[in-house]
Structure 1
Amino acid sequence: MKSINLQITDFEFNQLGLNKNTLTFSELIEIIGKKITKQTLEKSIKLADKSGLSKISMEEINDEIKAHRNAKSNS
């Protein structure tokens, strides 16, 4: 087994929610992946709010999907 040393600031350590100084590579990848996923979701929510998409109903969403599928199959 090989070891690597990684230095991050206290702020980054806390921001990632780390609670121990020794992690496996898989644990680190999982933690960073969750952080990236959360950031992406937050950005998506902001964009949906900004564009008004967060206010459309499920029925409107389904209608848009049907219209797109119909247009795609008719082309």
Structure 2
Amino acid sequence: MNLNLRNAVISNVAGNSQDELKDTIVDAIQNGEEKMLPGLGVLFEVIWQNASEDEKQEMLNALEDGLKGK
């Protein structure tokens, strides 16, 4: 079976409102299932590709800070 995960994830959330997108993200994180991680990765990829350099730096700072306590 040839499944394009990126296209499937994007297709599933295309046209969703910000509230729906937030619900999807929060649900995936709270659920804690490993199978949700690839979908979150695809969503992060979309965010990263559409972020300015300043926004990317903010994300990297937040990631670094979040990992310090782990």
TM-score (norm. length: structure 1): 0.31
- Of structures 1 and 2, the one with the larger relative CO (CA 8 A, separation 6+) is 2
Q: Which has the higher helix share?
A: 2
Structure index of larger Rg: 1
